[in-house]
Amino acid sequence: MRTLFILNSELLTSFFMKLKYRTSIAIVSFAIDVTRLIGGLEMIYTLEQETSIIMNTDIELITVSATANLLSVHRTTVYRLIQLDPDFPEIYEFKFGKRFNKDDVLEYINSRKSA
């Protein structure tokens, strides 16, 4: 069993998102221990179920422009939605630019259509 120590769950998600634009991770018997430093104390959480969900899904990252095209709005509207709408998908910042998870954007669109 391999163990990966990461500071928090946001970094865990970010770690898997940075692997590739589109990735399908199939790792057998791989448990991840997430280490959180809270007030100098180390607390270890095992996230077997959460990571298996992440590992078994394809993650496709799309640019802000592609997100604007999916929403049929201008890029500035996307940035406004990031600031004003708490339900808007999280944006991931990389050295090469900002990206959204395409599935999160599609889920956001579908939730707005049903409302």
45 CB-side CA count, 13 A = 14
> Taking residues 79-94, what's their average pLDDT?
91
Place of tokens 């007030």: 39
Distance from C-alpha of 31 to C-alpha of 37, rounded to nearest angstrom: 19
Answer whether residue 34 shows pLDDT above 70: no
pLDDT at 1: 38
Greater confidence (65 vs 42) lies with 65
Res. 54 pLDDT band, cuts 50 70 90: low
- 3-class DSSP assignment, residue 105: helix
40 or 113, which is more confident: 113
pLDDT band, residue 89 (cuts 50/70/90)? very high
Lowest mean pLDDT across 12-16, 59-63, 86-90: 12-16
Residue 101: Cβ-neighbour burial (10 angstroms; 0-12, 13-18, 19+): buried
C-alpha–C-alpha distance, residues 25 and 19, integer Å:
9
Phi, psi (rounded to 5 degrees) for 58:
-85, 130
At 9, the amino acid letter reads S
Question: What's the confidence (pLDDT) of residue 18?
Answer: 56
* Whether the predicted pLDDT of 92 surpasses 80: yes
- Dihedral of CA atoms 34, 21, 54, 33 in degrees, nearest 10, equals -10
Distance CA(71)–CA(109), nearest Å, equals 7
Amino acid at 79: Y
